[in-house]
């Protein structure tokens, strides 16, 4: 009786997955283990390919060869670099905090794995199938877990990842890493708010925090990218790039200013963990964007209900969409110059946060008007007028603040 109650409590707290809706037996645990191992190995392979792909594409854009020695087309170059880092000498500064110095790389790496656990990568969402597949005779979703608070878990993990960077800089006992970690903290606070508000627009349309339910609501090309009006997607992508510390937002490791940034004092395997975390977070964030805005693995299955329509085609759609955003992040690195720090702060606080909040309020007004039977045209026009008035007042306040700063002369200035 006690074990039955515990099983139901675990299922209710952790997941909507039909795998956990009944008794948790040996087969259930085996299915969960298979999904965990497949996700872990798949992520590691994706990082290896992503590093090779980024180096190869940027080399082609810069008229260079790129990796071409280790393995066919240089595919094994990432593995060779990883082996080299593992066998290098592990160094620790004298003034470093040993425990925190060793803990920081794990705080950067683990959240990326946990975030990918809530991403559905296959399963048919057409004809009311809800993405359910059968593994070892057990019905389940093609994701490690589908907690009822899935999106909140993503936000928690994205906030937790910055602790690895912050603690790495602080524990190094050096000024340059500390400056990099302070930059990372300020940047995360600036863009986490915009990212959360853009995400709120998706949740307003989806009506659920479950990633499986969000994907299911986008079946039939009802993608949130246009159901929310494109603006939340653009804001979310910019904020996600800043959270990843990818160019043009890579000020936490600006080599011209901070040597190597927060990981200046790291070497060997610990440095490799930060390197792995960067690319792992890129893959995971791309998967989250695909899940939230582009329907995840949902797509045409051409009436097929066998293993081709349930596994192969959804996997193809998911990885095709994922590849588009991985290419986007590579092109960002190859083409965009790094922002100045004041530009990063201005973009986050003066543009993205007001824009995401205003657009969310517009969607709320349209939704309330639709539920109450109001005239949608009049409701939309009134909401847009309110947003324009708010934008006008914000611009006036920014200009007044800039004029006031310019009017205040610094000591000794003008003498």
Report the alpha-carbon distance of residue 241 to residue 113 in Å, rounded. Answer: 18
Give how far Cα 342 sits from Cα of 242, 309, 328, Å. 14, 50, 25
Which span out of 95-99, 126-130, 300-304 was modeled with the highest average pLDDT?
A: 95-99
- pLDDT at res. 9: 47
Average pLDDT over residues 148-168: 87
The answer to whether the beta carbons of residues 169 and 180 sit under 8 Å apart is yes
The pTM of the full predicted model, rounded to 2 decimals, is: 0.89
Give how far Cα 182 sits from Cα of 14, 19, 278, 345, Å. 34, 43, 18, 13
pLDDT band at 380 (very low <50, low <70, confident <90, very high): confident
Does residue 172 surpass a pLDDT of 90?
no
Give how far Cα 44 sits from Cα of 37, 104, 284, Å. 11, 20, 11
Does residue 408 surpass a pLDDT of 80?
no
- pLDDT at res. 406: 81
What sign does the dihedral 70-76-77-79 (CA atoms) show? negative
| Predicted confidence (pLDDT) per residue in 189-224, tens digit | 889 999 999 999 999 999 899 999 999 989 888 899
Does residue 121 surpass a pLDDT of 80?
yes
Report the alpha-carbon distance of residue 250 to residue 333 in Å, rounded. Answer: 10
Of the two residues 250 and 15, the one the predictor is more confident about is: 250
pLDDT band at 322 (very low <50, low <70, confident <90, very high): very high
- pLDDT at res. 257: 60
Biggest distance spanned by C-alpha atoms of the chain: 85
Lowest mean pLDDT, pick from 15-29, 150-164, 284-298: 15-29
Of the two residues 128 and 25, the one the predictor is more confident about is: 25
The answer to whether the beta carbons of residues 313 and 304 sit under 8 Å apart is yes
Give how far Cα 242 sits from Cα of 51, 190, 194, 213, 253, Å. 19, 9, 11, 27, 13
Does residue 415 surpass a pLDDT of 70?
no
Report the alpha-carbon distance of residue 291 to residue 117 in Å, rounded. Answer: 12
Lowest mean pLDDT, pick from 77-86, 122-131, 406-415: 406-415
What rounded mean pLDDT belongs to the chain? 85
pLDDT band at 401 (very low <50, low <70, confident <90, very high): confident
Report the alpha-carbon distance of residue 379 to residue 68 in Å, rounded. Answer: 59
**Of 149, 151, 143, which Cα lies nearest the Cα of 119?**
143
- pLDDT at res. 388: 87
For residue 312, the 8-state DSSP code is: I
Does residue 6 surpass a pLDDT of 60?
no
pLDDT band at 328 (very low <50, low <70, confident <90, very high): very high
Which span out of 161-165, 322-326, 346-350 was modeled with the highest average pLDDT?
A: 322-326
pLDDT band at 321 (very low <50, low <70, confident <90, very high): very high
Q: Establish whether the linkage from the previous residue to 248 is cis, with ω within 30° of 0.
A: yes
Average pLDDT over residues 310-334: 92
Report the alpha-carbon distance of residue 284 to residue 46 in Å, rounded. Answer: 10
Helix (H) or strand (E) holding 139: strand 138-141
The answer to whether the beta carbons of residues 281 and 244 sit under 8 Å apart is yes
Helix (H) or strand (E) holding 376: helix 376-407
Structure tokens at 374: 């109001």
- pLDDT at res. 73: 87
Q: Which residue has the tokens 């990326």?
A: 112
- pLDDT at res. 5: 46
Structural domain spans, the chain? 84-336, 340-400
Report the alpha-carbon distance of residue 57 to residue 201 in Å, rounded. Answer: 34
- pLDDT at res. 409: 56
Q: Which residue has the tokens 């008794």?
A: 23
Of the two residues 315 and 137, the one the predictor is more confident about is: 315
- pLDDT at res. 1: 42
Helix (H) or strand (E) holding 140: strand 138-141
Burial of 408 (0-12, 13-18, 19+ CB in 10 A): exposed
Structure tokens at 361: 């309020």
| Predicted confidence (pLDDT) per residue in 382-392, tens digit | 888 888 888 88
Does residue 411 surpass a pLDDT of 70?
no
Q: Which residue has the tokens 């109650």?
A: 5
- pLDDT at res. 256: 59
Dihedral pair phi/psi, residue 133, rounded to 5°: -125, 170
| Predicted confidence (pLDDT) per residue in 334-358, tens digit | 888 888 888 888 898 989 999 999 9
Does residue 2 surpass a pLDDT of 70?
no
- pLDDT at res. 186: 85
What is the Cα 116 distance to its own chain's centre?
9
Does residue 64 surpass a pLDDT of 80?
yes
Q: Which residue has the tokens 């952790």?
A: 14
| Predicted confidence (pLDDT) per residue in 258-300, tens digit | 566 788 888 888 888 888 888 999 999 999 999 999 999 988 8
């Amino acid at each position: 009786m006690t074990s039955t109650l515990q099983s139901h409590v675990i299922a209710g707290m952790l997941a909507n997955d039909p795998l956990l809706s009944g008794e948790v037996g040996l087969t259930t645990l085996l299915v969960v283990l298979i999904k965990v191992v497949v996700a872990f190995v798949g992520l590691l392979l994706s990082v290896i390919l992503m590093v090779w792909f980024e180096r190869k594409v940027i080399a082609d854009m810069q008229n260079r060869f790129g990796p071409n020695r280790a393995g066919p087309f240089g595919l094994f170059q990432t593995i060779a670099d990883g082996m080299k880092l593992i066998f290098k000498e592990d160094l620790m500064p004298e003034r470093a905090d040993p425990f925190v110095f060793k803990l920081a790389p794990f705080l950067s790496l683990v959240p990326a794995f946990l975030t990918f656990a809530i991403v559905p990568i296959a399963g048919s969402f057409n004809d009311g199938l809800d993405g359910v597949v059968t593994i070892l005779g057990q019905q389940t979703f093609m994701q490690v877990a589908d907690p009822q608070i899935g999106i909140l878990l993503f936000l928690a993990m994205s906030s937790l990842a910055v602790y690895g960077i912050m603690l790495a800089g602080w524990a190094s006992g050096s000024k340059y890493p500390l400056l990099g970690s302070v930059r990372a903290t300020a940047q995360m606070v600036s863009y986490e708010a915009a990212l959360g508000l853009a995400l709120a627009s998706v949740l307003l349309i989806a009506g659920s925090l479950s990633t499986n339910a969000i994907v299911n609501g986008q079946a039939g090309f009802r993608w949130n990218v246009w159901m929310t009006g494109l603006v939340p997607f653009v804001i979310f992508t910019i904020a996600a790039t800043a959270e990843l510390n990818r160019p043009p937002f890579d000020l936490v490791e600006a080599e011209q200013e901070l040597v190597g940034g927060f990981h200046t004092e790291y070497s060997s395997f610990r440095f490799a963990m930060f390197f792995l975390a960067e690319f792992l977070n890129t893959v995971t964030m791309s998967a989250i964007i695909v899940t939230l805005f582009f329907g995840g693995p949902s797509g045409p299955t051409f009436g097929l209900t066998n293993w081709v329509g349930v596994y192969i085609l959804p996997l193809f759609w998911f990885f095709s969409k994922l590849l588009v955003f991985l290419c986007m992040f590579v092109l960002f690195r190859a083409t965009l110059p790094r922002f100045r720090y004041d530009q990063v702060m201005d973009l986050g606080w003066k543009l993205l946060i007001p824009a995401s909040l205003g657009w969310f309020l517009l969607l709320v007004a349209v939704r309330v008007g639709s539920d109450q039977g109001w005239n949608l045209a009049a409701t939309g026009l009134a909401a847009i007028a309110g947003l324009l008035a708010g934008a006008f007042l914000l611009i006036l306040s920014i200009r007044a603040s800039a004029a006031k700063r310019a009017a205040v002369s610094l000591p000794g200035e003008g003498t």
